[in-house]
Amino acid sequence: MGLFENIKNFFTPSSNSKIVKLYVQDKKCGNKMRVVLRKGYDIQRIYKDDVEGKYQISKVLVCDKCYNNIVIDVKFDKNYNVLDRSIENGKFITEEEFQNRN
Ligand SMILES: [Zn+2]
């Protein structure tokens, strides 16, 4: 009976390696948001040799509470570790800070 083993294989681990999660807080109203980025879709490959980093994303986030525009710019290395990041109209927070909202 290999049935249960077969079923187990249908479930992928919860830490999906195809996505990168960032957490930001709106400076205007304090709203905390999770940003889910898809590798290869939202995050663009950097082809320039003179730029540090392999992947980059520039994105305008709209706060779902006050519609403030938050601009993020993040660079990643080849393993999607954050190398450099900047943000306007908000700040980056940790996952713990995001979970402790309310
Ligand atoms: Zn807001």
- Between the CA of 18 and the centroid of ligand 1 the distance, in Å, is 28
Residue 3's H or E segment, with its range, is helix 3-8
For the residues 79-87, what does the mean pLDDT come to? 94
What is the domain partition of the chain in residue ranges? Answer: 3-99
CB–CB of 90/22 below 8 Å? no
CB atoms within 10 A of CB 20: 20
When pLDDT is averaged across residues 3-14 and rounded to a whole number, the result is 52
52 Cα–ligand 1 center, Å = 32
The pLDDT tens digits for 18-77 are 999 999 999 999 999 999 999 988 999 988 877 778 999 999 999 999 999 999 999 999
Q: What is the pLDDT of residue 13?
A: 47
CA triplet 67, 68, 74: central angle to 5 degrees? 120
Question: Is 0.85 surpassed by the pTM of this model?
Answer: no
pLDDT score, position 15: 54
Question: From the centroid of its chain, how far is CA 78?
Answer: 15
Q: Measured in angstroms, how far is the CA atom of residue 2 from the centroid of ligand 1? A: 51
